[in-house]
Amino acid sequence: MRLILLGPPGAGKGTQAQHMVDAYNIAQLSTGDMLRSAVAAGTDIGKRAKMAMDAGDLVSDDILVCMISDRVNEDDCKNGFILDGFPRTVAQAEALEQILGKKNLNLDAVIEIRVDDAQLIGRITGRYTCANCGTGYHDINLKPKVGGICNNCGCNEFTRRSDDNAEAVATRLQAYHKQTAPLIPFYRRKGCLKTVDGMAEIDDVTQAMKALLEQG
């Protein structure tokens, strides 16, 4: 199963991606993780990416596409994969379509997690993660079972992203609507777009996604 999740920052894509990984035994492909690994390993692509980042430039679509092209050949992608953070633009989506086509691979579904911008700001500004294992929490919706203690590893230290404030979130939402939201009609025309209500409870969103995927 090969999937893409779409939705604005804070829609729950990361959480739902992990649920799909667990449910379908597929690989989660994060462009951020791939970039960090390539840079650390000193690969040709990693060196090109590091040069761009050191210069303060965005990593080019060409570099990202090359990384993904190599990554989907690895053994853990045999059952499929879910793309996290890519594509972000129609140009990237078109490039992805080309590389998958050359490998005789198709996307099974593109799932839009639809949410309300105003409620998103409250959702994002309240989130934080365990400083040790990265497990995510929220001031209101997802507190640790024991106050101040991570459910997963028992750590008592937590961190918040510096850009998880109302002003920064509003800026990120504007960027999403300008650059990434056009992917929704793009994939709708391809006939593979499915939509779930991202304002529902986390488990309800997961079940809705599974139901859509099982419908084919």
160 assigned to active site: no
127 assigned to active site: yes
Catalytic residue (one of 78, 103, 160, 161): 161
Catalytic residue (one of 50, 114, 127, 188): 127
Catalytic residue (one of 50, 114, 172, 188): 172
Catalytic residue (one of 50, 88, 188, 210): 88
Task: Give the β-pairing of 158-159 and 127-130.
Answer: antiparallel
Cβ(72)–Cβ(107) under 8 Å?
no
Catalytic residue (one of 13, 48, 123, 194): 13
172 assigned to active site: yes
Q: Name residues whose C-beta falls within 8 Å of residue 1's C-beta, 6 or more positions apart in sequence.
A: 24, 26, 79, 80, 108, 109, 213
Residue numbers annotated as active site = 13, 88, 127, 161, 172
